[in-house]
């Protein structure tokens, strides 16, 4: 069997890295990897950390790129790769423009598609945008659906996907997280980035780790979040650490509102291992990221989600995550409550898996050879 993995962003690379390495162990599988480089620098950091060298690199990222121009470039360029590789199966991940457009291109050529992290739904096509429609499109195009949870499986069944085409595996991000924790904790492992963070951030305080990048929060949303953080920073027992996304819609607001404030540390985006280290040392995490909602339970960290809806309901139901939206007062009130009252989760069981999702995916594929 010849399998081609395609992805283009940092989150996809993190979540597909364990699948790639697991596939490489199979003697009857020929594995090729194509990256679109929808993200460039952030993608390359992850590939380097996980010791992955792509066979094909479309390098489609351009300045001020629109979703339509990105989609057109991927659609036209992936054809060349498909014709050379002639894969039996293309594996895509999640909800990016890369995943949906590559799946469409494979469909056009009669190539089967496997969708990793299938079945997530917010049921609101504007939130997250464009991810919600991307994943729905990919579901329509996919032949095999690797769903991470029972909720995701039920979403697929509700949409008419046959049970025989669904494989429930857990989320591969847990595999990647556990692999990373093992690597960065090994004696002798050093990353200059982490060493700098150790000297920069007061680890004796309660660290509030913040991330944000969602389009739906541009403007008033990010302003409200920043105003809330400004209020929280008045506490003497808190350090707010914010790796600021490179998008000007985020950077301009964050630096205008929070630069030079005491107890707030605005830093450049960090590599994946450095971010895992930050999560390890945080007290709570304020984020609009999906991946962090899946990783944090394994670390026992509470997550406050700056969105009004989430396609990752399992963490919310289990009590690991709380939706706070971008309402300033709700963010302030909830952060204070967690800082003052949270000690630990009594029974830590990550609803997104135990770290064997990639093995389950590859075992299923190997059974079809």
Residues known to be catalytic: 95, 117, 131, 213, 215, 245
Rg (CA), the chain: 20
| Euclidean distance between CA atoms 18 and 359, whole angstroms | 8
Retrieve residue 242's tokens: 């914010």
| Euclidean distance between CA atoms 81 and 86, whole angstroms | 8
User: 59: Cβ–Cβ under 8 A, 6 or more apart, which residues?
Assistant: 37, 40
Which residues are paired to 208 by β-bridges?
A: 240, 284
| Euclidean distance between CA atoms 59 and 226, whole angstroms | 34
Q: What is the 3-state secondary structure (H, E, C) of 140-193?
A: HHCCEEEECCHHHHHHHHHCCCCHHHEEECCCHHHHHHHHHHHHHHCCCCCCHH
Q: Work out whether strand 2-7 and strand 56-57 pair parallel, antiparallel, or are unpaired.
A: unpaired
| Euclidean distance between CA atoms 336 and 73, whole angstroms | 46
């Amino acid at each position: 069997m010849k399998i081609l993995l395609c992805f283009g962003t940092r989150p996809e690379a993190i979540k597909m890295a364990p699948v790639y390495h697991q596939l490489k162990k199979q003697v009857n599988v020929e594995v090729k990897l194509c990256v679109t480089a929808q993200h460039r620098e952030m993608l390359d950091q992850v590939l380097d950390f996980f010791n992955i060298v792509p066979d094909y690199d479309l390098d489609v990222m351009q300045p001020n790129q629109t979703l339509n121009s990105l989609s057109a470039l991927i659609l036209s360029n992936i054809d060349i790769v498909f014709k050379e590789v002639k894969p039996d199966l293309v594996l895509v991940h999640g909800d990016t423009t890369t995943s949906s457009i590559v799946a469409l291109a494979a469909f056009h050529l009669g190539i089967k598609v496997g969708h990793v992290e299938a079945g997530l739904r917010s049921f609101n096509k504007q939130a997250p945008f464009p991810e919600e429609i991307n994943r729905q499109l990919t579901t329509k195009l996919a032949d095999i659906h690797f769903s991470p949870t029972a909720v995701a499986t039920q979403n697929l069944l509700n949409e008419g996907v046959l049970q025989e085409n669904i494989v429930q595996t857990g989320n591969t991000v847990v595999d990647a997280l556990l692999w990373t924790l093992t690597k960065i904790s090994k004696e002798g492992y050093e990353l200059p980035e982490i060493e700098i963070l150790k000297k920069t951030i007061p680890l004796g305080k309660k660290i509030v780790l913040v991330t944000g990048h969602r389009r739906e929060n541009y403007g008033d949303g990010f302003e409200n979040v920043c105003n809330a953080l400004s209020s929280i920073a008045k506490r003497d027992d808190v350090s707010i650490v914010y790796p600021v996304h490179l998008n000007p819609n985020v950077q301009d607001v964050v630096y205008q509102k929070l630069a030079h404030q005491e107890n707030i540390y605005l830093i450049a985006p960090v590599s994946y291992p450095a971010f895992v280290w930050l999560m390890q040392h945080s007290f709570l995490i304020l984020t609009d990221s999906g991946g962090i909602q899946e990783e944090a339970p394994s670390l026992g960290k509470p997550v406050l989600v700056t969105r009004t809806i989430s396609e990752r309901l399992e963490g919310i139901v289990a009590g690991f995550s709380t939706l706070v939206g971008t309402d300033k007062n709700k963010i302030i009130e909830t952060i204070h409550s967690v800082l003052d009252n949270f000690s630990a989760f009594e029974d830590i069981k990550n609803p997104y898996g135990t770290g064997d999702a990639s093995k389950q995916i590859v075992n299923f594929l190997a059974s079809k050879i």
